[in-house]
């Protein structure tokens, strides 16, 4: 198949690209900066294209003769705290992508959302993802779509476990943590990729459906950091911060370069990130647990 993956150069995209190139599909990866994705350029059947995916004319050109469009574009932080950056990256881009895919006669559209996406949610991130889902669900009948809503995703190249492991090394294990009681069900990137794999061809089981994707273990953020410490060789000593201090920490970090934590991240953490529906069960996939998987990759 001819597949275009928006956001295909990132963490989840890299996993999908290596699978789908092995399966012999032709992949086009639009990117803002091809030189940062050289590791993907060497793969057979992959074409990196410098492109502004926010430009409808560019999308129309890219989607010509394409069988499947995958949208993985996502951000965790924006400049400032107005919500405009999230709306542009998640909602408006989805609106343009769905319109261009329908107009080009694309058959399948696979959309990456996030668990907790909700147009009335507590953060810009969750609201913009929720609005994007509604746009996909209202796509014309000719465009067959599937939406995935994962909890936090882990894998060898993730930012979640690698960032906490690096922070723990720096702080010798001491970790003052906002919203330490927030609950997650970390999900392995290869299980998420398997779900996309199943949806690629389209079938009654995945057509016009939304799947929540959770790993088998529910843990608090504090427990997650403790497991990361155990697996990365720096035992963690987690200090849960009261919300008033956590909010202040988020406010200060909002102004640090790279925004390691932000007010919007704090607001996202005020709701649990656990599944109501078992999307993996519906797809016939048995997801892997964080502890065993992470130990295995850290020891290789
Ligand atoms: N990782 C998780 O734990 C997690 C959990 C739930 C949901 N998700 C969702 O899964 C998707 C993929 O996540 P990921 O972890 O793979 O993200 P990632 O590694 O940060 O990759 C994001 C991709 O989006 C592109 N991108 C970012 N901002 C963009 C913008 N403003 N305009 C156009 N392209 C932009 C980047 O492409 P270039 O830089 O090459 O242009 C990059 O390839 C996202 O939608 C995310 O919200 C992730």
Domain-by-domain residue ranges, the chain?
A: 2-155+186-215+274-287
Which residue shows structure tokens 């006669």? 105
Distance CA 26, CA 49 (A): 13
Residues contacting ligand 1 via CB (< 6 Å)? 7, 9-13, 31-33, 37, 53, 72-75, 89, 112, 114, 150, 152-153, 160
DSSP code for 241: P
Testing ligand 1's pocket by substitution, the residue of 4, 10, 46 carrying the most ligand atoms inside 8 A of its CB is 10
Ligand 1 centroid distance, CA of 247 (Å): 25
Q: What is the pLDDT of residue 296?
A: 84
CA distance 85 to 79: 7
Phi-psi region of 261 (alpha: psi -120 to 50; beta: other; left: phi over 0): beta
Distance 237 CA to ligand 1 centre (A): 30
Give the number of C-alpha atoms closer than 13 A to the C-alpha of residue 240, restricted to the C-beta side: 12
| pLDDT reported for residue 105 | 98
**How crowded is residue 87: how many other Cβ atoms within 10 Å of its Cβ?**
18
pLDDT for the residue 201: 83
Question: What does CATH list as the number for 2-155+186-215+274-287?
Answer: 3.40.50.720
Residues 149/152/153/155 CA torsion (nearest 10 deg)? 180
Do the beta carbons of residue 50 and residue 38 sit within 8 Å?
A: no
Alpha-carbon span 93 to 241, nearest angstrom = 36
pLDDT of residue 207: 97
Report the nearest atom of ligand 1 relative to the CA of 14. 16
Query: From the CA of 10, how far away is ligand 1's center (Å)?
Result: 6
Distance of CA 233 to the CA centre of its chain: 27
Label the pairing between strands 108-112 and 26-31. Answer: unpaired
Q: How far apart are CA 237 and CA 260, in angstroms?
A: 19
What's the pLDDT score for residue 158? 96
Between the two ends of the chain, the Cα-to-Cα distance in Å is 34
Atom of ligand 1 nearest to the CA of 187: 3
pTM of the prediction? 0.97
- Name residues of the chain where pLDDT drops below 50: none
Helix (H, G, I), strand (E, B) or coil at 51: coil
Number of C-beta neighbours around residue 83 at 10 A: 16
Tell me how far the alpha carbon of residue 90 lies from the centroid of ligand 1, in angstroms: 10
pLDDT recorded at residue 203: 87
How many C-beta atoms surround the C-beta of residue 256 within 10 A? Answer: 10
Query: Using alpha carbons only, how large is the chain's radius of gyration in Å?
Result: 19
Given ligand 1 and candidates 48, 73, 118, which is best to mutate, with the most ligand atoms within 8 Å of its CB? 73
């Amino acid at each position: 198949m001819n597949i275009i993956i928006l956001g295909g150069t990132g963490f989840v995209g890299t996993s999908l690209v290596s699978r789908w190139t092995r399966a012999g599909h032709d992949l086009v990866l639009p990117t803002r900066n091809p030189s940062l994705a050289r590791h993907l350029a060497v793969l057979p059947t992959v074409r990196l294209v410098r492109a502004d995916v926010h430009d409808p004319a560019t999308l129309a050109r890219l989607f010509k003769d394409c069988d499947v469009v995958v949208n993985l574009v996502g951000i965790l932080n924006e400049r400032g705290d107005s919500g405009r950056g999230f709306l542009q990256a998640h909602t408006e881009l989805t609106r343009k992508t769905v319109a261009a895919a329908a107009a080009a006669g694309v058959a399948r559209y696979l959309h990456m959302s996030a668990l907790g996406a909700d147009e009335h949610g507590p953060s810009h991130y969750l609201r913009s993802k929720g609005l994007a889902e509604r746009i996909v669900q209202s796509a014309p009948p000719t465009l067959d779509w599937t939406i995935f809503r994962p909890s936090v995703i882990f894998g060898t190249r993730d930012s979640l476990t690698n960032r906490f492991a690096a922070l723990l090394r720096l702080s010798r294990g001491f970790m003052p943590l906002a919203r330490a009681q927030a609950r997650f069900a970390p999900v392995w990137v290869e299980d998420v990729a398997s779900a996309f794999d199943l949806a690629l061809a389209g079938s009654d089981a995945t057509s016009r459906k939304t799947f929540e994707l959770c790993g088998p273990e529910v843990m608090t953020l504090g427990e997650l950091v403790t497991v990361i410490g155990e697996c990365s060789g720096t035992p963690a000593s987690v200090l849960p911060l009261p919300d008033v201090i956590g909010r202040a920490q988020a406010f200060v970090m909002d102004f640090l370069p790279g925004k390691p934590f932000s007010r919007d991240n704090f607001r996202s953490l005020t709701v649990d990130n656990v599944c109501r529906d078992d999307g993996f069960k519906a797809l016939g996939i048995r997801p892997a647990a964080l502890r065993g998987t992470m130990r295995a990759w850290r020891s290789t």
